Amino acid sequence: MKKLLTLIAIAGAVLLAGSCKKNYLDLKPLDQLTEASYFTTPDQFKAAASDFYNKMISWQSVGGSNIYDFMDFGSDISSNVTVGSTVSYGRGSVNAPNSDIYWDNTYAYIRNINILLSKANVYAGNKSDIKQYVAEAKFFRAWQHFFLLKRFGGVPIVTTVLDLNSPGLTGPRNSRYEVVNQILSDLNDAIAGLPTEQAIPSADKGRISKWAAEAFKARVELYEATWRKYTGVTTDFKGSAGPTADQVSEFLTDAAAMAKDVMDNGGYQLWNYNSTLNNRSAYYLFSIDGSGSNPLNLDKTSNNEFILKSLYDFNLRQGGINLTHTVQAFLIPSRKMMDMYLCSDGLPVDKSPLFQGYHTAASEYQNRDFRLYGYVLGYGALPASGSVTLNGAYGYGNQKFAAYNYPTYRNDNQESQDYPQIRLAEVYLIYAEAKMELNGSISDADLNISLNLVRARAGVAPLTNALAAANGLDIGKEIRRERTIELWGENSRFDDLKRWGTAEQELNQSICGAVVGSASYPTDFKDASGNATQLYSPNLYVYGETAVATGKGNLNCVTVDAAANRNFKRINYLFPIPLKQIQLNTKLVQNNGY
């Protein structure tokens, strides 16, 4: 793992950048390197492939990217209306920009990947010595094309090294269906060439395994299958070719198979120390950063849940961003998110007799999903009555991704926990959703080997067909609920709403915070006469209060963002192609509505 971190830290310099005389492998002086002279040994291919890990979105900025664009900010489950470009996006306020770093940078990354692949084709040595790094390159080419697909839809597919005279520079967009086929082709090649996790030596831990590629393929196939099932061709650009075949069932079947292979053979485990960490595994999992980052002195070697991660280390690669402060201040759950957490009996708050309501600050936390405690409270205690004030805030906090014992153990910019790219909990949820979408139902046996393992860690009763039937639950919606809760803040919400075809419905509702109640439902914030208590300053809320459905009927809540401000449309499912690219290549067709 440390070896990969070292490679990542210097890989950019190795690849022809050259501010120092020699790289760690004692190669030629970097200022003398060319593409032709560099790719001559397996170690050089390995170093080049290591740079691709740098290009995944994670804590550190990549080419001007911002992790806060990828944390669900601005979605229906977030009360943040100030930080991150996705705040405007969630309101449907999107205009075609002149340039887009996510377009420019991603194609630059793909070019570097294609350079390695082109050099592998003419490598004079034993091709088996570079097989793993070629497979990693195929994985990352799929990764970057998938990023483009989610953001823009169909885009130009680039599988060769383009120069200024290449016809591909002025070619048309490929359809999303062609892009998906290319992604899956690359992933099949990657799976065939990558080692299992068990075969990766300890010094190289953190490199992509066969299981990571299978898990990512399952993610891609579930995404595309449900996009086609629920969103269909409604976002395809004018003139785009349609799908050549109905691949929904094919993708769902393979997504479940890929997930199952990872579940059965990957050797991964959910990180669960609830019995000794006061049921707060959901907090500590995302703050593991050296043995001082939790009361049990567990370090990163205890985490066998992250299948693919961006590696960080206090000595070698710190996060370098104001992470803890930002997630505590801005990754704040909305009223909708708070009410999504189930009670321990497995029932929603509007159905469970265990739900204690909102009369005090602590009452809604009673008998609930452990993730509510871990994500919202971290290692802190339940809020005491009178301890929460509504003086411009929205009633809740967040501790997911926040450093333990901040700022003593880790201060701003020092946080060095690994960033989860793919983890086992998601694979379990992919399996359950793929099975449900494929068959219109799912057996208790399939639930028990997937989703219910995630719920068990959260202290929530299993989801069964009997429980659903007895309580009027829709199992498909419960699977979606579980995904929303588990992947909170992990860049899943916008993608999920769009592939389910429900973004307009969910994003255009008022975003609300804490329940303030009324005379008929007194709380810490309003007394039995309906008057604001000293804990509540109504004049500080521009949008006042909104009555919304809660676990105790329609109740008044502070309004974070009014529905009148939110106008997310079907055209907003995709971002616009940057205008500069259309000017440079007139064959590029703009996405609908821009």
491-539 pLDDT, tens per residue? Answer: 999 999 999 999 999 999 999 999 999 999 999 999 999 999 999 999 9
Query: pLDDT tens digits, residue range 543-586?
Result: 999 999 999 999 999 999 999 999 999 999 999 999 999 999 99
Task: Quote the mean pLDDT of the chain.
Answer: 94
Cβ-based neighbours of 214, under 8 Å, separated by 6 or more:
191, 258, 259, 261, 262
What's the CA gap between 133 and 124, in Å, rounded? Answer: 15
Look at residue 44 in the predicted model and tell me its pLDDT.
Answer: 97
- Please report the pLDDT score of residue 345 as a whole number: 99
Least confident stretch, 54-68, 198-212, 516-530: 54-68
518 in a structural domain? no
- Asked whether the predicted pLDDT for residue 32 surpasses 50, the reply is no
Is 122 a member of any domain? no
Q: Give a yes or no: residue 165 inside a domain.
A: no
> Does 232 map to a domain?
no
Span 181-199, average pLDDT = 99
pLDDT at 239 over 90: yes
> What pLDDT, in 10s, does the model give residues 372-414?
999 999 999 999 988 999 999 999 999 999 999 999 999 999 9
Q: Which residues pair with 548 in a beta bridge?
A: 555
Q: 590 near 235, Cβ under 8 Å?
A: no
Q: Does any domain span residue 495?
A: yes
Q: Report yes or no on 46 lying in a domain.
A: no
**pLDDT at residue 16, rounded to an integer:** 42
Identify whether 473 is part of a domain: yes
Q: How confident is the model at residue 34 (pLDDT cuts 50, 70, 90)?
A: low
Residue 465: domain span: 422-503
Quote the pLDDT of residue 180: 99
Task: Identify the pLDDT of residue 29.
Answer: 36
pLDDT confidence of residue 17: 43
Cα distance between residue 137 and residue 148, in whole Å: 17
What is the total count of domains within the chain?
1
Label residue 512 left, alpha or beta by phi (over 0 means left) and psi (-120 to 50 means alpha): beta
Task: Please tell me the distance from the alpha carbon of residue 132 to that of residue 137, in angstroms, as a whole number.
Answer: 9
- pLDDT of residue 18 exceeding 70, the answer is no
CA 370 to CA 519: how far, in whole Å? Answer: 31
Residue 20 in this model has a pLDDT that exceeds 60: no
Q: Indicate the pLDDT class of residue 27, thresholds 50, 70 and 90.
A: very low
- Report the pLDDT value the prediction gives residue 30, as an integer from 0 to 100: 36
Does 300 fall in a domain?
no
Q: What are phi and psi of 419, to 5 degrees?
A: -95, 125
